[in-house]
Amino acid sequence: MGTVSINSNNFTIYGTSAAADIHWDGSIGDTATLWAASDDDTRAKGLVSATRLLDRQRYVDAAATFSLRDAITAFQTACYELAGMIIENPSLVTDATSGQNIKRVDAGGGVGVEFFSPTLGITGRFPTNIQELIGEYLAGAEGGEISGSYGSGTGESSTFGDTNPNDLYGLTRGI
C-alpha cells in the first residue's frame, strides 16, 4: 500500500508511485509517452482515480478487502495501467463500459436515428488488459442482491413458450 500527496492531502493507492514510474518506463506506446510527459500531480491523480475505480467493484473473498487486493501484484499493475489510461482518457472513470460505439444521425428539426453497437471484445467495465489482470477476482452477480430474473405481462399465454416442431422463431433449437 502506498500513498501519494496532492495539495497536502494524502491518498492511499495500490502499489507505489515509484513502482508506477518503473512500470511505465518499461512500456511502449502513447500511454507510456503521456505518462512520462505528465507532472507528478497528474500522475498522482491518475493513481488515485484508478484506485477509486478498482475499489468500487465487487470482489470474491480472496480479494474482498483493500489489504488483500494490494498484496496481489495484479491489482498494483492494474492500478498503474488504469492510471495511465485515465490520464489519457478521463471519461474511462465514468463510462458504463470500456467499449462503446454510439452513432447518431440527425435529420434536423428534432428528427434523428441513434444506433448503438458495443465494440466487439470489450463488453466489461474494464479494458481487456485490466480484465486479464484482475478478472479472476471480480465477483459476479451471484451471491448479491442483483440476481435472478423477473418477468411480467398480462397473464395471457405467449407463443414464444410453445415447443412445437414448427417453431417459427427457432427458440427451441439447441436445447
* 96-154 confidence digits (pLDDT tens): 654 445 556 666 676 766 655 555 444 567 888 999 999 999 987 444 444 444 455 55
Q: Reduce the DSSP state of residue 90 to 3 states and report it.
A: helix
Q: How far apart are the first and last CA of the chain?
A: 49
Helix (H) or strand (E) holding 105: strand 102-108
Sketch the domain layout of the chain as residue ranges. 2-94+126-137
The sign of the torsion formed by the CA atoms of 76, 82, 86, 92 equals negative
How far is Cα 106 from Cα 111, in angstroms, rounded to an integer? 6
How does pLDDT run across 10-26, given as a tens digit for each residue?
999 999 999 999 999 99
**Torsion angle, alpha carbons of 38, 39, 40, 42, to 10:** -60
Helix (H, G, I), strand (E, B) or coil at 157: coil
